[in-house]
Amino acid sequence: MQNAILEVEGIKARYGPVEVLHGINLQVNEGEIVSLLGSNGAGKTTLLNCICGLHSSKEGSVRFRGEDIFHLPAEVVVGRGMAHVPERRQIFATLTVEDNLWLGASHRMPKTSKKEIAREMETVYQRFPILEERKWQLGGTLSGGQQQMLAIGRALLSKPKLLLLDEPSLGLAPLIAKEILTIVQEIRAEWGTTVLLVEQNARAALAISDRAYVLNTGTVMLEGTSEQISNDPRVQSAYLGYAHEAV
């Protein structure tokens, strides 16, 4: 039996009176990269927000590292070891790169010393040398790919056991998008971080993940290993661009 780091059961979520998630079950095991696929409006972002404490109109259960975290606010969840990189990065455009990174570690102070965090920041700079080169620039002056690196670097400074990434390649040129997904793989290899990844680019996501879930209008339509999902004719025709009839 694999070691579950995240267990999601029966999640339902609403915006006002409208239910958009209809009872989602999902598990992520330690050390895995798991992709969450599905078309626009399927409910991927809402599900991540339910998991990390950003969406409150919800039912169900979320256990993280064996603890019930379902009703904890996001700022507490991050302290338990879950970092969320939201869609469109949401870095602070008017703060420097260095200050954006410090913010990632802010909830760990004063328990963790400034010196220790500065040391960890060096590790992030080693991983993303472009951020070190630009550390005194304002976040808003970085390119889209660099902003994504900054958002990931900031999340790493919270020392996450689980990283939730919401569409990290959105709006990036294909080569940069590929580089970002390679970085996700390297983070798992170097930091041992488990990853739950939302991606529109199903092919790229399946190439780096161990397993995947496919959401369709608020329900899990399919789940399996990335190989099983890649070989499913429904996924091939709907998300991978093969000319099968949709089943």
* Residues contributing to the site for ligand ATP (CB under 6 A): 15, 20, 38, 40-46
In the bound state with ligand ATP, the residue whose beta carbon lies nearer, of 45 and 137, is 45
User: Among residues 38 and 153, whose Cβ is nearest to ligand ATP?
Assistant: 38
CB of 47 to ligand ATP, least distance (A): 7
| Helix spans in 95-215 (H) | 97-105, 114-127, 129-133, 144-156, 174-191, 202-208
Cβ 222 to ligand ATP shortest distance, Å: 15
Q: How many helices (H) and strands (E) does the chain have?
A: 10, 10
Q: For the sheet with 219-225, list strands across it.
A: 82-85, 162-166, 194-198, 33-37, 211-216, 219-225
* Contact predicate 225/211, CB 8 Å: yes
The residue (of 21 and 101) whose beta carbon lies closer to ligand ATP is 21
**Shortest CB 49 distance to ligand ATP, Å:** 8
CB of 50 to ligand ATP, least distance (A): 9
Which residue from 85, 113, 22 is spatially nearest to 59, judged by alpha carbons? 22
Which of 225, 184, 235, 218 is CA-nearest to residue 44? 218
- Residue 42 or 220: the one with the smaller Cβ distance to ligand ATP is 42
Nearer to ligand ATP by C-beta: 15 or 242? 15
Calpha distance 213→173 (Å, rounded): 25
Least gap, CB of 43 to ligand ATP (angstroms): 4
